Structure formats: structure tokens, C-alpha cells
Amino acid sequence: MTDLPQPTPAPAKPRSGAQPAAPGPSPLPPVGDRFFRQLVESMRNGVLAITRDGRVVAMNEVAYRVFNIEPSPGDIGAPYTDVLHDQPDVVRILGTAFELQNLPNRAELRLKTSGKVIGYTLSHVRDDAGEVIGASLFFKDLTLVEQLEERERLRDRLATLGEMAAAIAHEVKNPLAGIEVMAGLLRRRLPDSPEAQGLINDIIAEAKVANAIVLEVLDFVRPIRLQVERTSIPQVLHDAVTTAERKASRGGVSITLNVQEQLPLIQADHHQLVQVFSNLILNALEALNGTGTIAITAVRGEGYVEPSAESRRPAPATVVVEVADTGPGVSPEILDRVFNPFFTTKPQGSGLGLAIVRKIVDAHNGHIDFTSTVGQGTRFRVTLPLEAGEGWLQ
């Protein structure tokens, strides 16, 4: 160890007032109640404070925004159970504030109403005598952090799993092609046996299904390389409808395509976007099973504003495409799993369609979400940035 010179202790400064002659900092102007209100209001975290008898003392703008509540002048002083009526999870947490000895610190909560995740700390407010006179909730919207972590995890998983899956898929592809070809040869040799013909047709059909799954796996694990070009969304959607119809028959389903006039071209990979929308249309066709409608719309959008309390940047211009069907909807218990690789509810599904969709949308710095009502239908919304600032008009 080297000997460091000991710092000489600075002479203790006399507290202000001791030596009136010395030039010190100018005295602090009186800080009133208003200052503390502004302090809470301008915080970039959510702040909510209640009194011991359960009334709201403070609730800042971020808190209103994260909880999705319209501010109303009567909120301050009103029972928190009324103001937070639509956020039962938060009401529950605040309700424990005066019962628990050890209050939660850095805990996390998923708001059931919006799916947002908040990280929060609950504290007591005490008076000079140490009596608990209220409680405060201090929190931050972690949704974006969670999404980023999720993407990161998916990428890690794919790096190792992907290589293996790609290798296996490659190996399986050739024998499958062999089975198909040889079954075809056999079929020609047995023209007089309808029973054998039937069986062979089944073999060929099954081999085709297996092959389609293998191709999807390869698609999914392949790292994305975008061939970015000026891309016309109407052209993409047109090609996507054709592609989807090659894979599933339309039957009695009507498909409408509504594109806003003068939709700008975007910087994107045409083929990959065709895959995105053909997968969504294919899912809609499969959900409809021959009857109903699929409405596809494309409009210019204000952009996807990231759900972070801090980002106040103007949203970039985007194109928003929606694919809405009148099918049976997605049941609530699987809502958060439909994008998972290999999650499927279909007997012959690969469960990779939406995982691939998400991967491609992510690669375009876009965003995808959906809403679904059981018995009424499902609406997927894809938001894609124009990327090159204003884009080009067609």
C-alpha cells in the first residue's frame, strides 16, 4: 500500500450568524407550502399521499398518467378509495399502509387494468412526535424496462437454442422431402388401389405439415437482416392477403382493405412485412373458420409513445396498420402468452406465427399490440416508424 498524504482537515466553518461580517450565501427565501406542492408535482416519478383517515393529500401528474385517471379538482381531499376506484390493486396496497409494520420497499405490481408494471415504495408520513399521520406511495412505470428485459431474454435464449434448432431443422428438412417424393412414386405404382392411394395421400399431407413447421422454425431462429427499401404499405398488404390465402382458404370470409390517402412510403423490408401481415391475416382466417370479416386498415399515426414517465419527446411519425377479425377472440387466460414461441391452441399449429411477427416488428423499431373480446373478435395493431423522418409521398 502506498502512503497517501493525509488530507488536512478543513477548519470548521462557523455556522451562519456567528460572524455577521463574513460574506456567506444569501439567506434562503421562505419556502412555503406552494414550493412543496410544486416539488411533488414536477417529480418524474409517481407520487401519491394519503392521510390516516384515507383522504388524498397529493397526487402528481405522473401518478394520474400511469393510473390512467382523469384529474379532477375534487380529488384532493376525497377518499382515495373513490379517486382510485378503477385501480383496485393500488387501493389494496394503500389499505395495508396503516396495518403493516414493515412497509414494502422497491416492490413491483402489475396493474390488472392496463397491464402496466410499477415499481413502488410505500412509506409512512410522521409528525414531529413520530405519530403516523399518513402514507405515501412513490412509484415508477417499469413497463418499458420490462419490455426491454423481455426482448433481451428472448435474444439470449435464441442465441443458444436457435443454433441447435436451426441445425435440427436443416437435418429434418431433407428426409421429409424424401418421404414426400417417395410417397409420390409409390402412389403412381398403385393406381388400382384406392385404399392405398388414400393412405399415401395422408402421408404426403402430413409430411407437408411437418415441412411447413420446419420452415417456420428456420424462419424464427434465423437472425433478421433487413433489406430496407422504400416500401409501400398498400402493396405489402395486398401481397400479404394473397400469401395468406395461399395457406388457408378464405371460404365465406370477406376481407376489406382500407388505406388512408397519401400514405407515405416507409423505410422497411418489403418481404418481411409481407410475412408480418400474412401471419396476422392467416391467424384471422383460421380464427374465423369460413365465416365473418377481416378488416385491414392503414393510416398515418402520431407514433407510439413509449410508456415511460420520462419520455416527453415528440412521437415520431408512423404508419399504423390494423388487422381486425370478427372471430371468437382470445380467451383472457392466454392473453399474455400468444406471442410466446411455440404457444399454440391449434392441433397443427407451430405457435411461431406471432413470435416471428414480433421479431420482425421489433427489428423495424416498431410496436405491436392487440385487443380481443371473447365472442366479438380480435384486433392486432402494428405501428411502424417512417424512419427517414418525413418519408416520401407515393
The site partner of 325 among ligand ADP, Mg ion, none (C-beta below 5 to 8 Å per kind) is ligand ADP
Report strand pairing: 293-301 vs 318-325. antiparallel
CA triplet 374, 322, 109: central angle to 5 degrees? 60
The yes or no reply on residue 308 touching ligand ADP (CB under 6 A) is no
CA torsion angle 88 92 95 97 (round to 10): -130
Which residue in 327, 366, 385, 391 binds ligand ADP (CB under 6 A)? 327
Which residue, 205 or 374, has its beta carbon nearer to ligand ADP? 374
As measured in angstroms, the least distance from the Cβ of 238 to ligand ADP is 20
Which residue in 338, 360, 361, 384 binds ligand ADP (CB under 6 A)? 338
As measured in angstroms, the least distance from the Cβ of 244 to Mg ion is 10
As measured in angstroms, the least distance from the Cβ of 342 to Mg ion is 12
Which residue, 37 or 346, has its beta carbon nearer to ligand ADP? 346
d(CA 121, CA 323): 40
The site partner of 316 among ligand ADP, Mg ion, none (C-beta below 5 to 8 Å per kind) is none
CA triplet 68, 69, 73: central angle to 5 degrees? 155
Which residue in 272, 278, 318, 350 binds ligand ADP (CB under 6 A)? 350
* Contact call for residues 166 and 222 (beta carbons, < 8 A): yes
Helix, strand, coil percent values for the chain (each to nearest 5): 40, 20, 40
Cα 252 to the chain's mean position, in Å? 33
Which residue, 47 or 355, has its beta carbon nearer to ligand ADP? 355
The site partner of 263 among ligand ADP, Mg ion, none (C-beta below 5 to 8 Å per kind) is none
The yes or no reply on residue 349 touching ligand ADP (CB under 6 A) is yes
Q: How many helices (H) and strands (E) does the chain have?
A: 9, 12
The yes or no reply on residue 272 touching Mg ion (CB under 5 A) is no
Q: What is the CA radius of gyration of the chain?
A: 30
The yes or no reply on residue 283 touching Mg ion (CB under 5 A) is yes
The site partner of 284 among Mg ion, ligand ADP, none (C-beta below 5 to 8 Å per kind) is ligand ADP
Strand, coil or helix: what is 266?
Answer: strand
Pick the stretch among 167-175, 247-255, 346-354, 386-394 that binds ligand ADP (CB under 6 A).
346-354
d(CA 214, CA 90): 46
Which residue, 68 or 348, has its beta carbon nearer to Mg ion? 348
Report strand pairing: 367-373 vs 318-325. unpaired
Of the candidates 238, 244, 265, 272, the one whose C-alpha atom is nearest the C-alpha of residue 356 is 272
Which residue, 57 or 165, has its beta carbon nearer to Mg ion? 165
The yes or no reply on residue 344 touching ligand ADP (CB under 6 A) is yes
Which residue in 46, 54, 329, 353 binds Mg ion (CB under 5 A)? 353
Number of residue whose CB is nearest ligand ADP: 353
Which residue, 283 or 383, has its beta carbon nearer to Mg ion? 283
Which residues in the 263-302 window bind ligand ADP by CB under 6 A? 279, 283-284, 287
Number of residue whose CB is nearest Mg ion: 353
Of the candidates 269, 282, 271, 291, the one whose C-alpha atom is nearest the C-alpha of residue 241 is 282
As measured in angstroms, the least distance from the Cβ of 282 to Mg ion is 6
152: exposed, middle or buried (Cβ count in 10 Å: 0-12, 13-18, 19+): exposed
As measured in angstroms, the least distance from the Cβ of 321 to ligand ADP is 14
Buried/exposed code over 51-67 (b: 16+ C-beta within 10 A; e: otherwise): eeebbbbbbbbbbbebb
Which residue, 89 or 286, has its beta carbon nearer to Mg ion? 286
Site for ligand ADP, rule CB under 6 A: 279, 283-284, 287, 325, 327, 329-330, 338, 343-346, 349-355, 378
Residues that bind Mg ion (CB under 5 A): 283, 353
